[in-house]
Every structure is written in structure tokens, then in C-alpha cells.
Amino acid sequence: MAGKMSDDAGPPKPRGRSDAAKTPEGADGEVHLSASDHRLLERTIRGSVPGIVGAGHPELIHGHAGDAMAGEHSMQHPELHPLARQMPGTDQAVAFRPRLLACLIDADPRHHRGFLEELQRSGVPVRTLAVHLFAPVAASLGDLWCTDEADLMQVAVASTRLSMIVNHISHASIAPQVEGARRKSILLARTPGGLHTIGLSIVASCFRDMGWGVEGGGDLEIDDSLYTRLSRKPYTVLGISVGRVDEVPACTDVIRRVQTTPATRTMRIAVGGPAVIAKPRAFQGIGADFVTRSALEVVQMASSA
């Protein structure tokens, strides 16, 4: 979302969706969004604010065969999952949620900067923060806009701040690696429709915390630049974030090309992102080794890959 917004700029006055839909141009001369524009934005925010917003809604996850999480264990409440509950620092991470959400929305940027310092002092493992704090709060940001509790600008600024916090905590917590040790590595990329990359940042933080080398990210699309990267060095896993369900064929083409190229055919492939959350069954059978819909599943994948 609006990654270039300044944290020092306060959010504009909130305006509900019903007001914005009344007329193309308001009395103040500003162009207002139509009702259809608002519906489009709502779908986009639900699907991509964290890359996992939709996982907070049980209606999107019932009926997924082989799902590691039961339907009631939504992304907003991973502490209900017995495996997630065992992660060290779970209670502390859960307790951080209201304060993190509040400081992300607050117009004063000093609050989220102070909270960042507290997170670093807490000693809670990054993977626990990813599962029990960052992902649930990201899902809540989408819901705040959809229920008119926050306007689009507030959510955009909050998303930018959350991404900054995730990246800072992730990089600051990287443990020194033994020189010469062969680490597992993952190359992260996205489809053209996956424009919002908080989910990729959370995924990267999990892998870094578990000792993996992490490359790529939101700037790497599944185009020729991806194959150039793959030809230069081997990776343990290729992770693809899929933004839209209509990008399943493009994702399938990438998987087939990787698996039929001698230099990369042994590399494992994982897919995730908003489209996987919305329509998980569309990704069963496209050839991916892992189909992940939550930070917990990412952690489990990293442990088994």
C-alpha cells in the first residue's frame, strides 16, 4: 500500500464509505470515490494489507482439505491453535496486540517508534511475534477500514509503519552465522497482482529468525528477473506470493518451468499470499510443494523444508 507516505503527516479527516459514494465530487471540490470504487478498495485491502487479511475470516477457510489449522483457528487468533500456543513468549506477544494496533493508527509517529524499542527489549522470538502479533494486527488493519473505524489513509500509514517494524525487528534479531556454514536459503517473489508486501515481510522475518538466508521480496516479480536470479545460485526454496486468483495460471507456469529446468528442478516451491487465502483449493494440484495460508504454516514449513 502507500509505502512512500510520511509517518509525520497526520491522517486526513475520516470519511465513511456511504458519504463518499453519494457524488463524484463533493462540495469541497474533492473527488470522492464511487460505491463501486469503494467495493474494489475493500476487496483489495481485505486481500492484501498484510497479504493475509482474509485469513481473519472463517468463511474463507472452511473446507480446505489437509489444512493444518481447524476453521475456528483464524489468523487473528492463532493462540487457539495448540501448536502455536506452545511457541515461547506467546502470552506476551498476544498482550502486545492492542497497543501495537493503537500506535499504528495514532497520528503521532513517536508512539510506534517507542513501541518498537519495547519489542526489541522484550526478548520475544521473532517467529512468535510474526505468528501471534504481526499477522493478527495486520488482519485487524483491514477490518478497521472495512468497518469505517479507520479511513484509507490511516490504514495506509499504519500498514507502512507495521512493515517498517517487522523489517527492523527481523534484521536486528539476525543471529551471527558460522562462517562457511551452509545455510538453507529462500528466494521470495510475487506475482504482478501482489502489490502489497507486508505478508512477504512477515514471511521473511520467520525464515531469518530460523537461520535461513533470505533474498528477494516485494521488488522481485515472477518475470525474467526471477529466472536470472535462479540461474545465478541455488536456493532451498522458492516462495511465491500470489496476489489474485486469476494469476494461478501464471504461477503454475513458473512452477513447471522451475521443475523442468535441470539447475532448479530439485528446489522446493511454496506459494502463499492473498489469493491462496481466498481460494486455497485453486492451488491444490498446481505442483507446489507447500501451500501456506498463515505465519504458523510458514514456520512449520521452514522447520520441515
Residue 111 lies in a domain: yes
Residue bearing the bigger pLDDT, 37 or 210:
210
Q: Total structural domains in the chain?
A: 2
* Domain range enclosing 121: 46-172
Does 207 lie in the same domain as 122? no
Domain endpoint, select from 117, 144, 172: 172
Per the CB < 8 A criterion, the answer to whether 189 and 267 are in contact is: no
pTM score of the predicted model: 0.72
Does 283 lie in the same domain as 223? yes
Write the CB contacts of 221 (distance below 8 Å, at least 6 apart in sequence). Answer: 189, 190, 191, 192
Residue bearing the bigger pLDDT, 41 or 183:
183
Residue bearing the bigger pLDDT, 68 or 195:
195
Does 200 lie in the same domain as 161? no
Tell me what the pLDDT averaged over the chain comes to: 78
Reduce the DSSP state of residue 186 to 3 states and report it.
Answer: strand
Residue 156 lies in a domain: yes
CA 137 from centroid of its chain's CA atoms: 11
Residue 60 lies in a domain: yes
Ranges of H-type helices in the chain:
17-20, 35-48, 82-85, 90-105, 109-122, 126-129, 135-146, 152-172, 198-209, 224-232, 248-260, 274-278, 295-304
> With 60 as the cut, is the pLDDT of residue 173 above it?
yes
What is the pLDDT confidence band of residue 259, given thresholds at 50, 70 and 90?
A: very high
CA-CA distance, 22 to 118, in Å (whole number)?
44
Q: What is the pLDDT of residue 176?
A: 56
